[in-house]
Structure 1
Amino acid sequence: MRITLTTPAIIFSTISLLLLAYTNRFLAIASLIRNLHDKKKEENKTTYIIESQINSLKKRIKLIRDMQFLAILSLFFCVFSMFLIFFDKILYGEILFVISLIFLMLSLIYSAIEINLSVIALNIQLSECVGEECERKNS
């Protein structure tokens, strides 16, 4: 199968939306880190919950950095493949497009891992609030 110039262009919007979503996740986690840091300073002590959340956020922020980097590499190789296809270097363009897709898949795998860590962090937070205790704290 031969690809045309429009084939790599199709995933441009996908990669752009992924980068936007990754940036939003990064900003949300940065906000959480700041809040936990302030909470830790206010209480002058570190609880198990806060320590667990901070450790989880450290891992997640690194994963998001790597997700963004892989998505940027994917976009770069996608653009470069279009460049080669434009100059009739079809085989090289196809190879770079495949590399672009591999980077995109790796980015998505990292995203799935980060989502899993997010769920684990939420479960840690929920473990603090069990049954009636949670309702009393919220009242």
Structure 2
Amino acid sequence: MQLTLTTPALIFSTISLLLLAYTSRFLALANLIRSLHSQASQEINRVDILMPQIENLRLRVKIIKNMQLIAIISLFFCVFSMFLIFLQQMILAEFAFAVSLILLMISLSLSAIEINISVKALNIELSQCVGDRCKLVK
């Protein structure tokens, strides 16, 4: 395979869009955590219901943080490979690009894990609903 400057440039835009999506997910979770924390502090009798949800969200935030960090490192290696191509250091450029792709796959895998955790949490929440009404189950 011939690695040219345009090959890492394609991945560069992909990683940038992924980082934007990850940040959006992080901000949505942060707002939800703040809301649940406020509810827990105001409604002492619901703390036992809300705290497991907050713990679940804490785990998801950690995963998203790792997704973002790994994607940023992937972006770094992608740009670094472009720099090495510019310097005509093709073996090092190919290695840096391969590292970038591997890190991107790890980041995407973490994203799939986080989505799975999110869906499980929603299913637990929905299992407490009967018909049009939701009831609190201890």
Q: TM-score, normalised by structure 1?
A: 0.92
Gaps of 5+ in 2: none
Establish whether residue 93 from structure 1 lines up as the match of residue 132 from structure 2.
no
| Distance apart, 1:126 and its partner CA | 1.0
| Distance apart, 1:55 and its partner CA | 1.4
Moved over 6 A (4+): none
Two-structure CA RMSD over aligned residues (Å): 1.6
- 5 Å matches for 1:56-71? 56-71=56-71
| Distance apart, 1:132 and its partner CA | 5.4
User: Is contact 2:40-2:51 (8 Å) kept?
Assistant: no
- 5 Å matches for 1:72-111? 72-111=72-111
| Distance apart, 1:128 and its partner CA | 2.1
Please list the CA deviations of residues 85-132 of structure 1 after superposition, one character each: whole Å capped at 9, or x if unmatched.
111100100010000000000000000000001001111211221235
Q: What is the match of residue 7 of structure 1?
A: 7
User: Is contact 1:49-1:124 (8 Å) kept?
Assistant: no
Equivalenced residues, count: 136
Q: What is the match of residue 44 of structure 1?
A: 44
Cα distance in structure 2, aligned partners of 1:36 and 1:54: 7
Please list the CA deviations of residues 36-80 of structure 1 after superposition, one character each: whole Å capped at 9, or x if unmatched.
001101111344431221111011000000000010000000000
> Once structures 1 and 2 are overlaid, which stretch shifts more, 36-45 or 68-77?
36-45
Establish whether residue 118 from structure 1 lines up as the match of residue 118 from structure 2.
yes
Q: What letter corresponds to residue 67 of structure 2 in structure 1?
A: M
Cα distance in structure 2, aligned partners of 1:35 and 1:71: 28
